[in-house]
Amino acid sequence: MKNVNIEIDGIKVTVPEETTILKAAESIGIEIPTLCYLKDLTPDGSCRMCVVEVKGGRKKGLFTACSEHCAEGMQVETRSEAVIDSRRFILDMLMSIHEKRCLTCRQNSHCQLQELCMEYGVEDTTYPGDAPRFDVDTSNPFFDFDPNACIMCRKCERVCTSLQGRKVISINGRGIGTHMSMVYDIKWSESNCESCGNCVANCPTGALLDKKIKGIPRLWDVKKVGTTCPHCGVGCQYNLIVKDDEIIGTEALEGPSNRGMLCVKGRYGSFEFVKHPDRIKYPLIKRNGEFQRASWDEALDLIAAKILQHKKESGPDAIAGFSCSRSTNEDNYVFQKMMRAAIGTNNVDNCARLCHGPSVVGLATTLGSGAMTNSIADIMEAPEVIFLIGSNTTEAHPVIGIQIRQAVLRGAKLIVADPRAIDLMDYTYMHMQIRPGTNVAFANGIMNVIISNGLEDQDYIAGRTEGYEELKDLVKEYTPEKVAQICGIDKEMLIEAALMYAKADRAPIIYCLGVTEHSTGTEGVMSMSNMALLVGKLGKYGCGVNPLRGQNNVQGACDMGCLPGDFPGYQKTSNPDNVSKFEKAWGCTLSTTQGLRSTEVFPAILEDRIKALYIFGEDPAATDPDSNHIRKALEKLDFLVVQELFMTETAKYADVILPGASYAQKEGTFTNTERRVQRVRKAVELEGEMRLDSDVFCDVMTRIGYPAHFDSAADIMREVASVTPSFAGVSHERLDGGESLQWPCTSSTDKGTCILHMDEFTRGRGLFKAIEFKEPDELPDAEYPLTMITGRMLYHYNNASMTGRTEGIVQISNESYVEINAQDAEKMNIRDGEKVKICSRRGEVITSARIGNVVSPNEVFMTFHFADGNVNEITNSVTDELSGIPEYKVCAVKIEKA
């Protein structure tokens, strides 16, 4: 592109030809006021606040700087008399529709309109008219809309339509009655708004205003702490806004994965729980069946005594620990060190077992590294085709979900394979409503079509892979006809999807639990890498195989070695060199026995092989399958420690409960789904006798004879870096200095890795795995005729211990429900909202029916977020042999009227 030379306020600047005057001015530090400008969207030019005067050059006159491009020889004045007059006139006009009441407005001192009026000396309008007054809409639980304070800049509408992709705000009315509102003027709460608050954050006046900050005076007197959202693996960056040691709100930052956006859980659901009265504040010891407050000394002495007793009586492998994928890398590192170095067992695991265990095992087998291969920015920048398999992205990874919507608005074609009509349907080019549990057959069918059309990448296969011939022979059998029948989909769609995927240059596969949570989960994952290897779409910009990791730090908990067979950085415990390396680093003797997976621990308890369990921030009584068998195991344990924020279902079974520290009360890092290590910073103080989780582990270690201490989280990360090659270059200092690091990051000068497997796979050659399709463990039959699928919804998060303590979220959703297809409901004579009983071979739950077309006939869907009617009472605990993940996504049920 050609460069042009222009002058702004007498300063010379050279910029590429297409640059707007606004951006050119910004680049030399000249600020031009705007009201309607949104950096990620094409300029609207409607508020006209950014007018500038252009003197030299071909064009002369007043132009809007946000939309006018720089041209050679332009002389721009940003504060000439004509400009100032024009801006005054605009403000004067705006004030004629804006109801003035700054003294009592909650936006007072934060309002861009107010600031500009002060700057340009506009005190009142000279066009007093009788602009109509509107009712304030207070129906959204998080924010109010006051049309009387609206200046019709349309930012909210553009954010909602083009960035959030929700399209619920529009201009309504005519003439002087023109106003912004929900489509058809319905109430905010009756609309499709998903309460992301992205419109509110961009409103330049007090028209859209956060309820939380209502009545908080002196809002300028706040502290802002930059940190990472504690919910999902997107890893959105934001400020917590703190006043008098209380978090009152959030403010999105331009993080690499969120680019200024947040979802409802990050924006509004990530802070009320921090100081909630339900927080556990003191150690508790169960005496005669009742929890009693205890001192830290009493609690820690009891824990140490019990650990030593069981170690002596039955050996260290009679003790197991579950680490917390919600907590920091630093806490997770110390936890596994406690289990390995101090207790002497490899029985340590984390929640990845329940979600992406198959990704860790499957992709490590085929590619050599079990993580997302590409980065969010590179797969979302300009994809041609997005192949979305078993991921309900707009609900479970919402800020990636909205980037998918944006990509579709820019022309990408979205192909969805999911048994349910997920929220993204409006944006979907093709939806294959596949029968649950048939992913392997589906992928084999896609590959059959690719090969029979000669679209496989032969050079790539020859140069970078192995195992192709076997795969080719096997998928020959998976003809489109056969696969269409197995999966219950249209043959033509399967063929078209395969051709589209193979032919596109940039086509990421994005998958999630719809692929992993099956008794064939690992095979499902390897089928994903098979497809990408076949067409050479690994190690390539805009492509890859991209598992969306679930919890905020489930990637990190695995990276830190909270896995039974892995030291930090996936250094195998089965390799004697690794064992001696860690023995030297940690100054101890380490066990070489393979540890138990979390899902193996419960049967082992029932068989008396595990006597004591230390659970750091996990709630298996609510979230593991077949709750009944989990409860039996927890009851049978001789000793259970739970270190938690809240009294969870699991904590009720504990012998000792220890109060942990929430993410907003400690320093550390989380690693998001794209392997990006990001800072977590302390915003508010701990209350009562809560302590930092890692300090508690150090005290336990010390009391059982392995003295341990760290000065700070940064200190812990220094130790991690010293023993973990893929983290060798990661430090808090670098992150605090503004660097953003994705592992592998192998030295202090290494900038980290955006895309894995670029020149070579981590394991050398990419491995094809020829895999036959197998049916799920429990299929519907005459007695249990329906297939139950389980999963998530937008507003609540896993056991809801955090989201369930956010008032506004509870107002939107607080009860369990079951999605039933309208045809089935009619057959069973069940009405919408009616209470129904759902039974499986393992138990039953009562919940309300939600009737529609989200699920297919003969299939039903429930979430596991709610204590009333938790679907895990009925799910199947059968696991995938290769990874130990339970088959949460398929079990057979029947429904009766309750």
Ligand X SMILES: Nc1nc2c(c(=O)[nH]1)N[C@H]1C(S)=C(S)[C@@H](COP(=O)(O)OP(=O)(O)OC[C@H]3O[C@@H](n4cnc5c(=O)[nH]c(N)nc54)[C@H](O)[C@@H]3O)O[C@H]1N2
Tell the smallest beta-carbon distance from residue 475 to ligand X (Å). Answer: 18
208 in contact with ligand SF4 (CB under 6 A): yes
- Taking the C-alpha atoms of residue 501 and residue 489, their distance in angstroms, rounded to an integer, is 17
871 binds, among ligand X, Mo ion, ligand SF4, none (CB under 5 to 8 A by kind): ligand X
Q: What is the residue type of 826?
A: E
- CB closer to ligand SF4, 182 vs 855: 182
Query: Of 78, 519, 790, 876, which one interacts with ligand X (CB under 6 A)?
Result: 790
Query: Of 65, 152, 324, 360, which one interacts with ligand X (CB under 6 A)?
Result: 324
Dihedrals phi, psi of 263, to nearest 5 degrees: -105, 175
- Taking the C-alpha atoms of residue 765 and residue 368, their distance in angstroms, rounded to an integer, is 9
519 binds, among Mo ion, ligand X, ligand SF4, none (CB under 5 to 8 A by kind): none
Q: Which of residues 230-249 bind ligand X (CB under 6 A)?
A: 232
Dihedrals phi, psi of 93, to nearest 5 degrees: -65, -45
Tell me, residue by residue from 434 to 463, as one string, x for binding to ligand X by CB under 6 A and - for no binding. x-xx-x------------------------
- CB closer to ligand SF4, 134 vs 761: 134
DSSP class of 160: I
Query: Of 480, 542, 550, 744, which one interacts with ligand X (CB under 6 A)?
Result: 550
Size of the site for ligand SF4 (CB under 6 A): 40
Give pairs for 255-259: CB < 8 Å, separation 24+: 255/678, 256/375, 256/376, 256/377, 256/676, 256/740, 257/376, 257/377, 257/399, 257/400, 257/672, 257/674, 257/676, 258/234, 258/399, 259/40
Query: Of 210, 272, 693, 887, which one interacts with ligand X (CB under 6 A)?
Result: 693
Q: Which of residues 146-205 bind ligand SF4 (CB under 6 A)?
A: 150-156, 159-160, 164, 166, 168-169, 180, 193-199, 203-205
Dihedrals phi, psi of 279, to nearest 5 degrees: -55, 140
Determine which helix (DSSP H) or strand (DSSP E) holds 114, and give its type and residue range.
helix 112-119
359 binds, among ligand SF4, Mo ion, ligand X, none (CB under 5 to 8 A by kind): none
Determine which helix (DSSP H) or strand (DSSP E) holds 497, and give its type and residue range.
helix 491-503
- Closest-by-Cβ residue to ligand SF4 is 266
Query: Of 259, 792, 805, 850, which one interacts with ligand X (CB under 6 A)?
Result: 792
Tell the smallest beta-carbon distance from residue 551 to ligand X (Å). Answer: 5
- CB closer to ligand SF4, 160 vs 415: 160
Q: Token pair of 721, please? A: 């870096």
- CB closer to Mo ion, 550 vs 668: 550
Tell the smallest beta-carbon distance from residue 225 to ligand X (Å). Answer: 16
Among 504, 519, 524, 326, which residue's Cα sits nearest to residue 444? 524
- CB closer to Mo ion, 285 vs 355: 355
- CB closer to ligand SF4, 208 vs 767: 208
625 in contact with Mo ion (CB under 5 A): no
Q: Which of residues 643-672 bind ligand X (CB under 6 A)?
A: 643-646, 648, 660, 662-663
Q: Which residue has the tokens 């506009």?
A: 122
- Taking the C-alpha atoms of residue 581 and residue 170, their distance in angstroms, rounded to an integer, is 63
Among 256, 269, 259, which residue's Cα sits nearest to residue 194? 269
- CB closer to ligand X, 16 vs 688: 688
Query: Of 272, 456, 517, 667, which one interacts with ligand X (CB under 6 A)?
Result: 517
Query: Of 141, 617, 729, 884, which one interacts with ligand X (CB under 6 A)?
Result: 617
Q: Are strands 817-821 and 859-863 parallel, antiparallel or unpaired?
A: antiparallel
Cα–Cα–Cα angle for 339, 340, 342, rounded to 5 degrees: 75
Show Cβ contacts of residue 415 under 8 Å, excluding neighbours closer than 6 positions. Answer: 385, 386, 387, 388, 428, 429, 430, 432, 497, 500, 501
Half-sphere exposure of 37 (CA within 13 A, CB side): 20
Cα–Cα–Cα angle for 275, 261, 278, rounded to 5 degrees: 15
265 in contact with ligand SF4 (CB under 6 A): yes
390 in contact with ligand X (CB under 6 A): yes
Indicate the length of the chain as a whole number.
Answer: 898
Q: Which residue has the tokens 């690794």?
A: 578
Helices and strands of the chain, counted as H and E runs: 29, 37
258 in contact with ligand SF4 (CB under 6 A): yes
Determine which helix (DSSP H) or strand (DSSP E) holds 892, and give its type and residue range.
strand 891-897
Q: Token pair of 791, please? A: 């999963």
355 in contact with Mo ion (CB under 5 A): yes
Show Cβ contacts of residue 74 under 8 Å, excluding neighbours closer than 6 positions. Answer: 4, 6, 7, 21, 54, 56, 57, 59
Contact segment (CB under 6 A) with ligand SF4 among 22-30, 104-112, 233-241, 868-876 equals 233-241
Tell the smallest beta-carbon distance from residue 290 to Mo ion (Å). Answer: 33
- CB closer to ligand X, 424 vs 745: 424
405 in contact with ligand SF4 (CB under 6 A): no
Query: Of 390, 542, 550, 561, which one interacts with Mo ion (CB under 5 A)?
Result: 550
Tell the smallest beta-carbon distance from residue 727 to Mo ion (Å). Answer: 22
Q: Which of residues 408-427 bind ligand X (CB under 6 A)?
A: 417-420, 422
* Interface residues toward Mo ion, by CB under 5 A: 355, 550
* Interface residues toward ligand X, by CB under 6 A: 232, 324, 326-327, 351, 354-355, 389-392, 395-397, 417-420, 422, 434, 436-437, 439, 512-514, 517, 550-551, 616-619, 623, 643-646, 648, 660, 662-663, 693, 789-792, 794, 796-799, 801, 864, 871-872, 875, 888-889
* Interface residues toward ligand SF4, by CB under 6 A: 150-156, 159-160, 164, 166, 168-169, 180, 193-199, 203-205, 207-208, 229, 231-232, 234-236, 258, 262-263, 265-266, 397-399
